Amino acid sequence: MSVQMMDERTVTGLVSDATAAPSMHNAQPWLFRYAADTGTLTMSADPSRALPHEDPDGRGLRIGCGAALLNLRVALAHLGRSSETTLLPDPAAPSLLATVRIGSAATPGALADLYPAIRERHTSRFPFSEREIPTDLRNALGEAARLEGAELAFLSSPHLQAVLDLIRDGEGYNLMDPDRDAERARWTRNSRTDATTDGVPDYAFGPRKRGGTAPARDFAGLDVVRGRPTIDFEDRPQLALLSTAADGPADWLRAGQALERLLLVATRHGLTSSFATQALEWSDLRWLLRDPVSGSGHVQMILRLGYGPHGPRTQRRPVREVLTFAD
C-alpha cells in the first residue's frame, strides 16, 4: 500500500472523529501521533486516565481505545482512503496499541456508510420503550460484531435474569467499596461548576430509577442531584453480551472495534444504547456472565439496546491535547 501524506487540518479532523467514541466513565484514555513521512497514525494508551480500581487490568481502557480506532477507520473510509491497521505492533511497548497506515484512494464501502452515526451516537441513560428490536436488525448488529472478530448474543430468560442479578450485585459491590466509589466520583462532573471536557456530567446521568428491571448505572452514587427526576424503566430490557474467543489485550481492542461498529449500525437504524458494566468490573462476577449452555467466549461488554430518548452529547478533550505530530 503506497504511503499517502495528509495535512494537519485533515489529520486533526480524523482524530476528532475518532475521539467521539465511548470510553469507560468518558475518561478518553487515548493519545494519537501522526508521522507524515510514513503516512501513519499511532494510537497509545494514556496511563493518566486509567481506572486502577474498577479496571485494574486495563481491559476497559483498551475497549474504549478500540472504539476510537474503529471511528478512525470509518472516518478514513469516508474520505475515500484505504488503511492498514496493526494491533499491538511492538511487544516491547505495550502502551502502543495500534498503528494505522493511511493508503491511497479506495472505493467507499460499508464502513464509510456509518460515518454520519459517529456524531449521532450518544449513550442514553433514560428509560426505553418496550418495543422489540426486529430480528433482522438484531442479525445486522451481530454481523457488525463478527466483522470485527467478536460475537453478539441477545439474552433471553433464564440467562437474562441471571445477568440482571449479577449487574445488581456488581452495582452494590461498587457502592460498598470506598476506592471504587471515589474513582466514580473522580470522573463525574457538576456542569454548573466544573469544566466538562471529560468524565460524565450530571446532565448525562439520566433520571433515578424507580421501578422496572432494566439496569441503570447511577453515576450519582449516593449523592443527590438537585432537580433530578425519578422514573420507571422498562420491565423487559433488551440486553446483549459482546464476547470474544480469547481474552488478551488484542482481543480487548477487537472488542472495542466490534462494539463501536455495532453501535454505529444501531444508531443508523434508530436504536439508542447504554452500557451495564458493573458485573464486568468484578472478576468473579464476570466469569458467571458467560452463557450457561455453551460456556464459551469471554464477555467484554453488556449492552442495553432499544427505542428511547437519545442521550445528550458529552464533551471531548480538545484534539490538541491528544494529538501530536512527528517532526
Cell digits for 171? 452495582
User: Beta-carbon neighbour count of residue 246 at 10 Å?
Assistant: 11
| Type and span of the H or E element at 261 | helix 249-268
Cβ–Cβ < 8 Å for 65, 97: yes
Q: Enumerate residue ranges in the chain where pLDDT < 50.
A: none
CATH 3.40.109.10 domain position(s) in the chain = 8-119+316-325, 135-306
Q: What is the pTM (predicted TM-score) of this model? A: 0.96
Give pLDDT, residue 43.
Answer: 98
222: exposed, middle or buried (Cβ count in 10 Å: 0-12, 13-18, 19+):
exposed
Which of these, 149, 134, 148, lies nearest to 266 by C-alpha position?
A: 134
Give pLDDT, residue 290.
Answer: 86
Region of 258 on the Ramachandran plot (φ > 0 left; ψ -120 to 50 alpha; else beta):
alpha
Residue whose C-alpha cell reads 420491565 in the numeric block: 235
User: Beta-carbon neighbour count of residue 21 at 10 Å?
Assistant: 27
Give pLDDT, residue 220.
Answer: 87
306: exposed, middle or buried (Cβ count in 10 Å: 0-12, 13-18, 19+):
buried
Give pLDDT, residue 262.
Answer: 98
**pLDDT tens, 58-107?**
999 999 999 999 999 999 999 999 999 999 999 999 999 999 999 988 77
Under CATH, what is the fold of the domain 8-119+316-325? NADH Oxidase (3.40.109)
Q: How far is CA 89 from CA 93, 94, 98, in A?
A: 8, 9, 6
Q: What is the domain class of 135-306 according to CATH?
A: alpha beta
Q: Which amino acid is at 62?
A: R
Q: Please tell me the distance from the alpha carbon of residue 4 to that of residue 101, in angstroms, as a whole number.
A: 9
Give pLDDT, residue 291.
Answer: 78
- Sign, CA dihedral 65-88-257-166, equals negative
Q: Please tell me the distance from the alpha carbon of residue 198 to that of residue 314, in angstroms, as a whole number.
A: 8
Q: Please tell me the distance from the alpha carbon of residue 318 to that of residue 321, in angstroms, as a whole number.
A: 6
Give pLDDT, residue 3.
Answer: 60
Give pLDDT, residue 235.
Answer: 95
Give pLDDT, residue 296.
Answer: 73
